[in-house]
Every structure is written in C-alpha cells, then in structure tokens.
C-alpha cells in the first residue's frame, strides 16, 4: 500500500541547535506561573521587572494563561532570582513543572463558593434594609432599628471577609509592590463602607451601608467569575503536543545488541529500531527497512508516506508497516515536534499583547478613582462639613466609580455569544476570540479535514463490478490503510459481505498480496505494485489517487479515490467572498488535489505542499500587508498557524492539539458554523460597544452627583448594580437576535 511522496518540512540546522559552541552564548528558557496577574498593568510590571534583571534577554507575559516566558543567561541570573524579583513586585510566582488544569478548576470552584456566600448574604441584608427603610419615619422604634442593623452586621461582615478575599489579596499584593490596580479602590470602598457602618451602628444612626458593601462584592464576583470562566485552557497546548513524543526507544549498539532506553537519552548518531506500530522517538534517516509512516502531525494528510533507505522521518510520527532502523539526527528538544511546540508557545505569547489596549485603561482609571474620592473628602471638609459626611460622600464616590459595568460589558456579551454558538455546535475557547474573529478580513483554509471531510472515498463505487470488488475487499479488510478502509466502506454500502482472506501478506510501502498455489497471486496496492494495465472504474476526477487490484487470472482493475469536500464548502466560500472576505487555500497536500478543491469551491488563491513553517510564513506575509487572517485548520501541522493567526477555528474532528490551540471549535460536516461564528462575533462587538456606552453614561451622570453629596453609599451600590443589570440585559438580546452577515 502506498501514498504519494510529498515534501515534509526540513528541521532547522542541527548544528545551530547544539549548545556549547564557543561562539554561541549560553542561553536557557523557563516558564513561570504568576496566578495573581489580572490586567494590563500587571503584565507591564512583570515584564519590566524581569527585563531589568541582569542576564534576562527577553520576558514575555501571556495574560490568558497567566504564564511568563523568560530567556536568560544562567551564568548571570537564575530562576530563583527571577521568582524573588517577581515576589518583591507583588507577584508570587513558581516555575511551571506540570499542567495547572487542576489548579484552574480549583480557582473556579473557589470563586463559585465566594459568589454563593456573597449572593446569600446580600439577599438577606437587603431584606433587613428594606424593613429599616420602610420603618424610618413610621412606628419603628430605635431599638428595633438598631437590632436590624446588628443583624445586618452579623450577616454581612463574615460574608465580606470571606467573599472579598480575591480583591483584598490582589490589592495587598499590588500595594506591596508599590503600584495600584482596580482591586485597590474596590477593597478600600468595601472596607470603608463596612467600617463606617459598624461605627454608625454603635452610635445608633438611622443609616448603615452593609447592604452596599456586600451587594458591591456580589456583582464584582459575578464579573470576575465570568472573566475567569472564559479564559482559555491554551496553556497546555505545547505541553500536550510534546506528549506525542515516544517515551522510550530501542537503541542498537555497534555489536548488534539492543536495549530499551529513555527517548531523552538518545543522541544524534544513535541507531534506533522502530517496530511496526511504534511512535518514532527522534528525527532521523532510515538506514534499513521499508515501511509507511503516518505523518498527519506534519502534513495534515491521513495517507501514510512510504519510506525506505535514505528517507527522513520525524519524531512523533507512527511507523505503520515494517520494522525500520533509523539513525537519529535530532533528539529530545531539538526535534521538529519540539520545534512545532515552540512555535505554538511563541505564537500564544504574542497573542496576549492584543488585549493590552483595553487593560491599559486600568493604569489611568485606578489613580483617577482615588483622586476623585480624595478630592471629594477634602472638598467637603473645606466647605465646613464634618469628617463623617465627608467620608460618606468619599465612600459613595469609590462605590459609584466601581468598574463593575465596565468589567461586565465584555464578559456578559461573551457569555451570551458563546451560549448562542454552543447551541449551534460551536465552542468558543479564547476569552478574546470573539473580538479577534470579528476583526478578521482574510479567511485561510486548510484542505484535508477542513475544506474536505478528510476521508478518501471511492469514485464511481456504484458502477464497480460487484464480484471484482468483493474479491478486492477480501485483501483490503486486513489493512488499516485509509484507501483499504475506503474500499471496505464502499463494499459495505453495496451490501457486500466483507470477510478478510487468510494468508494475506502486507508489503510495507507497496500493498497487499495473497499467494495462490495454481494461479497468479492476488495483489492490491500501488499501480506499479500490481501492473499498469486495466481501465479505471467510473470517471477519474482531478487530483484522484489510484489503488489497483490484480485478480488471480491477472486482470487488473484500478480504483480511484478522492477526499470529498464538505457538502456546503462551495456555498460557504461564496458567501464569504460576497461578504467581502478574501479566501485562500493553504494545504500540505499534493498540487493536484489542492488545485481540484480550489476549483470546485471557487478559491482563486491556493498553495500546495506547504509545511507548518510555510503556513506560518504565509500568515506572517498577510499580517505584514495589514491583513488580519482567520486560520481554519484541523491537523497537528496546522497548530502553529492556528496559534499565529489573528483568529483561528478548528473542526471537532481535528487533532487534540489543534483544538486546544484554536479560538473556536465547530461540529458537524458543514462549514456553515464558520459563517455563523463570524456573524455572532461581529454582533458581539457591536453590543460590547453599546455596553461600554451604557457604563460611561452611568459614570458621567452619577459620579458628579456622588461628589456633590446627592448619592449615599447605598444608592451608589444600587446604581452600580443597575448599570450592571443594564449591560447584562443588553447582552442577553444576542441569544435570539437575527443577524446579517457582512464585513
């Protein structure tokens, strides 16, 4: 059984990878985890702190994954020094050792518990407050009112101490590092409102603000939980990819003996025995043997590549045929697999910078809140008011300027948008994925498994001679080759009973043969393996691959296979082009099938036999030209391009690493979810802008009123809650809104 030989990416020059060259400075990389960063100010502070250390040549932060990638000279600094520096800046960090997925789940559960406590307390305190409001000026005695205040304190204070921990902890770390973030004014407002309420309760005043403090925390926790819930789990993408490495290998010694060793212990020049079905442990060159290697992680194609002496093979690919002896040329972190993982990681690090524009507002907003509150307090004192009304007005300003509506503006829209898309079979994973999807102006499609279904199909199956097909599938049934499986599927659809023949011999890289005592042996495989005569079944389509069967009497029948396009591929491409998008086809497959797929769907620009690095380069060209490409691919070879694209999508049947890397995953056999996703993404951005307008208008109206003393802390909390409800209600409309598709 054979496929067509196709070029695969050439790994970087090995000599350039080896450390220890006298002309090459010793450089190491590490990844740190800093779970306490929440905004653009945190990102900038962390990068500035590390870049200021001697020996650190580069520090990049990914806010989505809360990871810091640093390149440094180990002779001048160390990981411990970097961790100590971050701790001094208020960001406790640790070196990444293993996946933090369990930690992320624990944080989600922790937020849910705090949110539940805050909601329960807010509801009960509000009931008590309503009773006090209705009783003031009526028949409620001072003793009853004081009792209700103490009951409110008994409920609110423990709830505030517990539910407010995320904000208090973040504020403490920020102040410890000599900086401000948005959790500082939030914590200050809650603490002052609670402290003032306790003081007023002791004095027997009519008004206290426990309800304002706990309600404020409740809505802030909703915003923080929604934001965290939307964060991608892309942190494990590169680690998951490296999980495809073989953990062990059979090392051949010069004397012919062998021993199984750890794959990490292999060195360039090592001779490795790769048995059939094993994953190749290192990049190398075949010294002995003939086989087929499944290279979907490199080329994206499901058809194995035939290899023989002198062929190059890559770590992570699977030997599907006979045994091979491979001389390693690159091992461990120097393999092409590791290189792809680094490309993914680098692309993800770069992506984190996109959301900084919105986060930088925190650098101005936090000091502005304190200045307004302080000015209110001093202004009231200067006008002859006492410290108590002055402080009450300052607290109202702190609460009224709380960015709860601003914080909910985008997460609320994201939840509504992702809920709508989920009902239509689309899962949006990245927190800023919708924003980037809405900005895309160029659609870049992979072919196999994306534009097509990724499964070879027999051309003209209904016209095939039934008896000949029945004999051929007796051989095909013993093989796992994609063409053999396609032949079996075609026979089953014709109602032909499939029974594997006994004694079938698989010739790696060529095909299958069934020896017969008194006749020619039957063969199924490459045309050159069985002969070149015979007439194709049905009409051979452009780009079709051919499999031939030779019967016992010597007659040869040829079967043509193509990878069927998705049923709505042409329609979706037409809609995208009509909407003003530029559509390109970028594939690792051969020229013929790629050209045929492009012609069938109306795509004018296409490239075939493109390596992962080539796809990455093309996306770089588009970005340099001012375009914002949406990459849609399914193969592991597409993962770096998916990570580097301005936005990315992947079908549900894609490789795990591609699904982790992509911003969104769509289900089903059609491409229509791509159109729906883009339409929802654009609508979500319009609604996000509307929500920002609501939040800004709220601040424009209520901040001056609070500074003038016309808003109490309770009214401030209610107004803040109302603005949050307004942006949430606006976002919910997206779930049922009828959308139009255009640029």
Contacts of 487 (CB under 8 A, 6+ apart): 458, 469, 472, 473, 476, 547, 559
Structure tokens at 734: 């997206």
Nearest Cα to Cα of residue 331 among 254, 262, 276 = 262
Query: 183-203 and 361-382 helices cross at what angle (nearest 10)?
Result: 30
Phi, psi torsion values for 10, nearest 5 degrees: -85, 125
Phi and psi (nearest 5°) for 505? -110, 125
In this structure, what are the phi and psi dihedrals at residue 251, rounded to the nearest 5 degrees? Answer: -90, 130
Q: Does 35 qualify as catalytic in the annotation? A: no
Q: Which two tokens stand for residue 304?
A: 């194995």
**DSSP string for 40-102:** HHHHHHHHHHHHTSTTEEEEEEETTTTEEEEEE-TTT--HHHHHHHHHHTT---EE--S--HH
> Which tokens hold the place of 526?
């490459």
Number of H helices, E strands in the chain: 26, 26
Helix axes 101-135, 210-229, angle to 10 degrees: 150
Tokens matching residue 735: 């779930």
Cβ within 8 Å of residue 269, ≥6 positions away = 327, 328
Measured CA to CA, the distance from residue 195 to residue 175 in angstroms comes to: 20
Count other Cβ atoms within 10 Å, centred on residue 379.
16
Structure tokens at 238: 């590169």
Q: Which residue has the tokens 């902890």?
A: 169
Give CA separation, 743 vs 569, 671, 674, 740, in Å: 19, 18, 14, 10
Please work out, in degrees rounded to the nearest 5, the angle formed at the alpha carbon of residue 253 by the alpha carbons of 247 and 257. Answer: 95
The backbone torsions φ and ψ at residue 337, rounded to the nearest 5 degrees and listed phi first, read: -60, -45
Collapse the DSSP code of 445 into the 3-class scheme (helix H, G, I; strand E, B; otherwise coil) and give the result. Answer: strand
Rounded to 10 deg, the angle between the 672-707 and 361-382 helix axes is 20
CA distance linking residue 400 with residue 396, whole number of Å: 6
Nearest-angstrom CA–CA distance, 575 and 742: 9
Helix (H, G, I), strand (E, B) or coil at 496: coil
Which of 183, 446, 638, 663 is the catalytic position? Answer: 446
Query: What does the alpha-carbon distance between residue 738 and residue 715 come to, in Å, rounded to a whole number?
Result: 37
Q: Where are the beta strands (DSSP E) in 545-589?
A: 545-550, 556-565, 582-586
- Catalytic site residues? 446
């Amino acid at each position: 059984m054979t496929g067509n030989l196709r070029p695969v990416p050439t790994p970087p020059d090995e000599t350039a990878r080896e450390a220890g060259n006298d002309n090459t400075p010793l450089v190491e990389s590490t990844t740190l985890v800093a779970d306490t960063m929440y905004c653009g100010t945190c990102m900038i502070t962390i990068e500035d702190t590390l870049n200021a250390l001697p020996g650190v040549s580069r520090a990049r932060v990914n806010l989505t994954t809360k990871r810091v990638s640093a390149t440094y000279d180990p002779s001048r600094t160390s990981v411990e020094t970097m961790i100590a520096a971050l701790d001094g800046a208020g960001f406790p960090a640790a070196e990444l050792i293993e996946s933090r997925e369990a930690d992320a789940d624990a944080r989600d559960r922790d937020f849910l518990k705090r949110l539940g406590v805050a909601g329960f307390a807010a509801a009960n305190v509000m009931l008590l407050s309503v009773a006090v409001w209705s009783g003031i000026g009526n028949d409620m005695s001072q003793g009853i009112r004081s009792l209700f205040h103490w009951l409110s304190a008994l409920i609110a204070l423990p709830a505030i101490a517990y539910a407010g921990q995320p904000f208090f902890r973040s504020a403490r770390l920020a102040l410890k590092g000599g900086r401000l973030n948005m959790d500082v004014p939030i914590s200050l407002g809650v603490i002052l409102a609670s402290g003032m309420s306790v003081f007023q309760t002791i004095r027997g005043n009519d008004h206290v603000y426990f309800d304002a403090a706990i309600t404020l925390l409740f809505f802030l926790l909703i915003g923080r939980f929604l934001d965290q819930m939307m964060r991608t789990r892309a942190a494990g993408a590169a680690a998951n990819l490296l999980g495809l490495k073989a953990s062990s290998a059979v090392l051949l010694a010069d004397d012919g003996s062998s021993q199984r060793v750890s794959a990490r212990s292999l060195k360039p020049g090592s001779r490795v025995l790769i048995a059939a079905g094993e994953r190749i442990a290192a990049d190398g060159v075949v010294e002995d043997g003939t086989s087929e290697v499944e290279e979907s992680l490199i080329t994206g194609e499901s058809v194995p590549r035939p290899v023989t002496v002198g062929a190059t093979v890559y770590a992570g690919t699977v030997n599907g045929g006979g045994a091979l002896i491979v001389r390693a040329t690159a091992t461990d972190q120097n393999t092409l697999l590791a290189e792809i993982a680094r490309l993914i990681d680098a692309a993800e690090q770069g992506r984190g910078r996109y959301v900084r524009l919105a986060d930088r507002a925190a650098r101005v907003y936090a000091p502005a809140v304190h200045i307004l509150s302080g000015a209110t307090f001093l202004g009231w004192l200067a006008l002859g008011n006492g410290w108590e009304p002055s402080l009450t007005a300052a607290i109202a300003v702190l609460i009224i300027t709380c960015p709860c509506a601003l914080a909910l503006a985008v997460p609320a829209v994201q939840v509504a948008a992702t809920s709508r898309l989920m009902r239509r079979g689309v899962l949006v994973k990245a927190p800023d994925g919708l924003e980037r999807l809405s900005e895309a102006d160029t659609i870049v499609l992979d072919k196999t498994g994306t534009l097509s279904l990724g499964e070879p199909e027999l051309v003209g199956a209904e016209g095939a001679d039934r008896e000949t097909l029945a004999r051929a599938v007796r051989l095909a049934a013993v093989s796992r080759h994609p063409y053999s499986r396609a032949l079996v599927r075609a026979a089953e659809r014709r109602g032909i009973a499939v029974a594997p023949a006994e004694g079938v011999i698989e010739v790696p890289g060529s095909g299958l043969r069934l020896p017969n005592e008194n006749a020619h042996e039957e063969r199924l495989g490459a045309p050159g393996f069985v002969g070149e005569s015979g007439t194709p079944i049905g009409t051979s389509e452009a780009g079709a691959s051919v499999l031939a069967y030779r019967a016992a009497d010597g007659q040869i029948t040829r079967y043509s296979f193509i990878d069927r396009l998705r049923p709505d591929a042409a329609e979706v491409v037409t809609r995208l082009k009509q909407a003003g998008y530029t559509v390109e086809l970028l594939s690792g497959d051969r020229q013929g099938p790629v050209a045929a797929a492009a012609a069938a769907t109306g795509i004018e620009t296409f490239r075939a036999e493109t390596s992962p690095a080539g796809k990455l380069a093309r996306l770089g060209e588009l970005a340099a030209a001012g375009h914002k490409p949406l990459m849609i691919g399914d193969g592991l070879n597409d993962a770096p391009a998916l990570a580097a694209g301005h936005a990315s999508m992947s079908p549900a049947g894609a490789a795990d690493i591609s699904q982790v890397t992509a911003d969104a995953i769509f289900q089903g056999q059609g491409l229509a979810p791509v159109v729906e996703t883009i339409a929802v993404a654009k609508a979500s951005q319009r609604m996000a802008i509307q929500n920002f307008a609501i939040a800004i208008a709220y601040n424009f109206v209520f901040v001056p009123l609070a500074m003038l003393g016309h808003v109490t802390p309770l009214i401030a909390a209610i107004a803040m809650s109302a603005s949050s409800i307004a942006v949430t209600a606006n976002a919910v409309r997206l779930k049922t809104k009828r959308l139009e598709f255009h640029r």
